[in-house]
Structure 1
Amino acid sequence: MKKIKVMLVEDDPRWQRDIVDDLEKESDLEVVRVVSSKEEALETAKDIEMDVILMDINLTENNLDGIEATLEIFSLGKEIKIIMLTALGDRDTIVKAIEYGAVNYVNKSSFLDILECIREAYRNEVSLHPDATGAILREIRLKSLTPMEKNIYTLKEEGYTRPQMAQYFHTTLDTIGTHMKNISRKLKRRK
């Protein structure tokens, strides 16, 4: 049986040890390299044959350099599947990681699921982990908003009240209310 070759990109020694220990218990997985920086990840992806990369998002401070590494590795044109493995769960980070080429996004607290995510990625099965699906669905639904609805949604996210929005857009509270109802309907459909 051919083993799935996995590289771990993680800067925390404790996480490195724990993840590698778990991966090495699996007979169908082989850890081919463990690296801790964006630069090492890029060089290794160029030089070593691998199937899947588990990529931490923050390799240095809070720079999201794991996402940058994902884009650069994806741009190599190799068939390497990249799974983001992180403690971050904010919507913008998840969406950016997927846009930059990651095939999945799993929070470190859901690590027990990572084994199946690796196998699915290797088999080219598109299956987003529940840690990512809500953010992706919401992003898709945001695309259905009109420009005015997007502006109102953004102001709402920033904490503006309806009267403040009405004043901002030089319109009535009823108009803002209508837009808010449309936004709510569009974002909640097909859950």
Structure 2
Amino acid sequence: MSDDAAEPLRLLIVDDHTVVRAGLRALLEGEPGFEVVGETGDGTDAVRLVARLRPDVVLMDLRLTDPGTPSPAGADSVDGIDGIEATRRILATTPGVRVVVLTSHGRTADVLRAVEAGARGYVLKAGPPEELFRAVRAAAAGGMALAPEAAASVLGHAAEPGPALTDREVEVVRLLAQGHSNRAIASTLFLAEATIKTHLVRIYRKLGTENRAATVSEAVRRGLIELA
């Protein structure tokens, strides 16, 4: 992320329809402070392009075309990696990049999957351009920006009652977020590695998650921890 406020935000567009990409490029390049540095309709190619181009923000379509189905008119052939998986891989391989999901869908499950994958924004294609611009700038600054429909989904999910984490479990999640292994967490907290594994099983159950990345995302979403 550039420290120079005068530098434009570098953007990469990922959408499997060439017409949509062309429209987004024209829209974004017409907004002061934005520079589109690349585009693709392929999930795996997006991961490679991010590593090579180092954009500040990736605009990610949620539903990329499955390779086993005919591509709709105007769509590029893609490899089957959807926007969620592409987001996970990008954030795992190129730290510092932000992802904003741009999609036609606002279903609660889709919003939560995107947030759990690490997306910093969720914007509907049918929304006003200003909403997209705000989301890009917020994500680049390290914030979170959700379309009103998406925010309502997240807030509704967060309002659901669930078991609270203990102070020790929060410590474990905070160390998870810092990238520590089970052994390193055990050493830091002066506990046995087996004890850490037990804590993780309980944390996964309480947060309704299945892996470390999703657990960190859910903890952040619930306000249990903050990412640096």
Q: C-alpha distance in 2, partners of 1:38/1:6?
A: 16
- Look up the match of 2:148: 130
- Look up the match of 2:188: none
Higher helix share: 1
Contact 2:135 2:144 in 1 (8 A): no
Query: Secondary structure, in 3 states, of the residue corresponding to 1:75?
Result: helix
- Between 85-94 and 55-64, report the one with greater CA deviation: 55-64
Q: Which runs of 4+ in 1 moved over 6 A?
A: none
Contact 2:120 2:143 in 1 (8 A): no
- Look up the match of 2:34: 29
Q: C-alpha distance in 1, partners of 2:101/2:128?
A: 11
- Between 55-64 and 24-33, report the one with greater CA deviation: 55-64
Gaps of 5+ in 1: 147-191
Q: TM-score if structure 2 supplies the norm length?
A: 0.60
Could you tell me how far 1:139 is from its partner in structure 2?
A: 1.6
Could you tell me how far 1:111 is from its partner in structure 2?
A: 4.4
- Look up the match of 2:60: 55
- Between 41-50 and 54-63, report the one with greater CA deviation: 54-63
Query: Secondary structure, in 3 states, of the residue corresponding to 2:89?
Result: helix
Q: C-alpha distance in 2, partners of 1:116/1:11?
A: 23
- Between 120-129 and 44-53, report the one with greater CA deviation: 120-129
- Look up the match of 2:84: 67
Same amino acid, percent of matched pairs: 27
Contact 1:9 1:34 in 2 (8 A): yes
AA at the equivalent of 2:125: K
Q: C-alpha distance in 2, partners of 1:111/1:16?
A: 16
**How many correspondences in the alignment?**
145
Matched, 1:118 2:123: no
Could you tell me how far 1:108 is from its partner in structure 2?
A: 0.4
Q: C-alpha distance in 1, partners of 2:64/2:55?
A: 20
Q: Which has the larger radius of gyration?
A: 1
- Deviations 1:70-97 (Å, cap 9, x if unpaired)? 0111112511110000001111011000
Query: Secondary structure, in 3 states, of the residue corresponding to 1:22?
Result: helix
Could you tell me how far 1:102 is from its partner in structure 2?
A: 0.3
Could you tell me how far 1:132 is from its partner in structure 2?
A: 1.3
- Deviations 1:101-153 (Å, cap 9, x if unpaired)? 101100100141101111111122333331311111122122x158xxxxxxx
Query: Secondary structure, in 3 states, of the residue corresponding to 1:110?
Result: coil
Aligned-residue Cα RMSD (Å) equals 1.8
Gaps of 5+ in 2: 1-5, 70-79, 164-228
Matched, 1:96 2:101: no
Matched, 1:79 2:84: no
Contact 1:105 1:131 in 2 (8 A): no
AA at the equivalent of 2:9: I
- Between 58-67 and 111-120, report the one with greater CA deviation: 58-67
- Look up the match of 1:188: none
Q: C-alpha distance in 2, partners of 1:22/1:8?
A: 12
